Amino acid sequence: MKWITRERPKIDRIACPWLIKTFIDPDALFYYVPFDAVIEKAGELNAIPFDVVGVELTHKNGQCTFDALIKKYKLNDPALQIMAPIVRGADTDRHSLASQASGLWAIAAGMAHNIKDDQELLKAGMVIYDALYTWAKHLQDVRHTESPVEQLLVNVYQKFLKQGKDTRIPAWAKELKTIIQDQIDTNLALTLSGISSELNINPAYVSREFSKYFDNLSFGEYIRKIRIEKAIAYIENSDYSLSEVAYLTGFSDQSHFTRIFKLETGLTPSEFKKHRAKK
């Protein structure tokens, strides 16, 4: 089958060929011609016109040509239903339809600016829509979290939310304690707001539930407590300097370490070290 549309594509006129070749006609050929020549050339080439005024496959009732193809060919793939509002939002400047729409527009606009040959632009665009489809089908729940410990925490909390709160001490709390203990000697960079954002849960709820299973302490208090316990173990059982201990337990600097250590133990790290040496 041959297909024809307007030249200089950006969103719909790249997304539609991808959809056609992937789900409708893998041997499809596409032609890009000036706007006022689409209908005439369609007749000459015996090609199906799309994304132009007055043809079957075009924008209608707030939807774009990508939507029209999905409807006409009864494409029921759930991933396409996720992609559709992204394409529609990017193509119609309604970026509120999907959070990914503005990003798709930015990429498409940049590609169209850099690549002047429409067939080369189509070839490059195919890669973009292959990637978007893979994300929609397999990777929606994957988050790019900078801290691997934070991602572990998110995963554990999600397990808890799925299983409910029937047990007195939920499995997520036990597993989370182990994770924190295992990772406390790295530069732990967990924040309650960051975790709440990843989980799409109100921070107040996370804070309230956390304290029930972590020694009646808030998230921040518990992390500080574990850091100080680890610092004490380093002071008692290693030759690390106090600056090294501060770094190994995730404190931003030694003065911060000293202040929190004294708050937790009643002594500065230096006083604690001297006191232990006399025993």
115 pLDDT tier (thresholds 50, 70, 90): very high
Q: What is the pLDDT of residue 184?
A: 47
3-state secondary structure of 250: coil
Q: What is the pLDDT of residue 126?
A: 95
CB atoms within 10 A of CB 274: 11
Domain-by-domain residue ranges, the chain? 2-139, 148-278
**What is the CATH class of 148-278?**
mainly alpha
For the residues 51-55, what does the mean pLDDT come to?
Answer: 94
DSSP code, position 33? E
29 pLDDT tier (thresholds 50, 70, 90): very high
DSSP code, position 266? S
Biggest alpha carbon–alpha carbon distance for the chain = 98
Least confident piece of the model among 63-72, 119-128, 130-139, 224-233: 224-233
In tens, the pLDDT along 198-229 reads 556 566 666 667 777 677 777 777 778 888 88
In tens, the pLDDT along 127-183 reads 999 999 999 888 876 655 445 555 555 555 555 555 554 556 666 566 556 555 544
Q: What is the pLDDT of residue 223?
A: 76
Q: What is the pLDDT of residue 227?
A: 82
Q: Does residue 248 surpass a pLDDT of 90?
A: no
Tokens of 129: 């829509």
Distances (CA, A) of 79 to 39, 138, 194, 274: 32, 9, 28, 63
> How does the average pLDDT of the chain come out, rounded?
82
Q: What is the pLDDT of residue 254?
A: 78
185 pLDDT tier (thresholds 50, 70, 90): very low
For the residues 112-131, what does the mean pLDDT come to?
Answer: 95
Q: What is the pLDDT of residue 249?
A: 78
* Separation of alpha carbons 65 and 23, rounded Å: 15
Q: Are 11 and 62 a contacting pair, CB within 8 Å?
A: no
Q: Is the pTM of this model over 0.95?
A: no
For the residues 32-38, what does the mean pLDDT come to?
Answer: 95
Helix intervals (H) in the chain? 12-19, 38-45, 65-72, 78-91, 101-114, 118-134, 148-163, 171-183, 192-199, 203-213, 219-237, 242-248, 254-265, 269-278
The C-alpha torsion from 19 through 22 and 25 to 27, rounded to 10°, is: 120
Q: Are 23 and 77 a contacting pair, CB within 8 Å?
A: yes
- CA 158 from chain centre, in angstroms, equals 15
Q: What is the pLDDT of residue 203?
A: 64
Q: Does residue 31 surpass a pLDDT of 90?
A: yes
Q: What is the pLDDT of residue 123?
A: 96
